[in-house]
Amino acid sequence: GENVEQHPSTLSVQEGDSAVIKCTYSDSASNYFPWYKQELGKRPQLIIDIRSNVGEKKDQRIAVTLNKTAKHFSLHITETQPEDSAVYFCAASNGSSASKIIFGSGTRLSIRP
């Protein structure tokens, strides 16, 4: 089955700097890669997703890149702000209607003021 690895487990950056979180996946059939943000005690919120037919997607300060050959995908947050502090999870799925999403282990991002 699919295995998703995520690094780093914790990340601290200065406010205004960029943050990068990296994930790898094992199943070459995976073609859908969502990223979720979870604040303490809250539900995970989808912040961006990418499908395998594109290599990059951007939404304001957030961007995701995908390298299908290497089975790598990354989340980039630019101009970080205090409200970006949270746990971020990458995930992978083969995108079928009954497909499950497998999550990475999470990255705890802290933004230093």
> What are the residues binding another protein (CB under 8 A)?
32, 34, 36, 41-46, 49, 51, 89, 93, 95-106, 108
Pick the closer one to another protein by CB: 51 or 72.
Answer: 51
In the complex with another protein, the residue whose CB is nearer, 14 or 105, is 105
In order, the DSSP letters of 36-87 are EEE-TTS--EEEEEEETT-SEEEETTEEEEEETTTTEEEEEE-S--GGG-EE
Strands 72-77 and 86-92: unpaired
Smallest distance, another protein to C-beta of residue 16, A: 27
What is the four-CA torsion angle of 54, 25, 23, 9, rounded to 10 degrees?
A: 160
User: Nearer to another protein by C-beta: 60 or 97?
Assistant: 97
Q: Which is nearer to another protein, 38 or 65 (CB)?
A: 38
Give least dist CB 30 to another protein, A.
11
Minimum distance from residue 74 beta carbon to another protein (Å): 18
Q: Is 92 in a helix, a strand, or coil?
A: strand
Output the smallest distance, CB 35 to another protein, in A.
12
Residue type for position 18: S
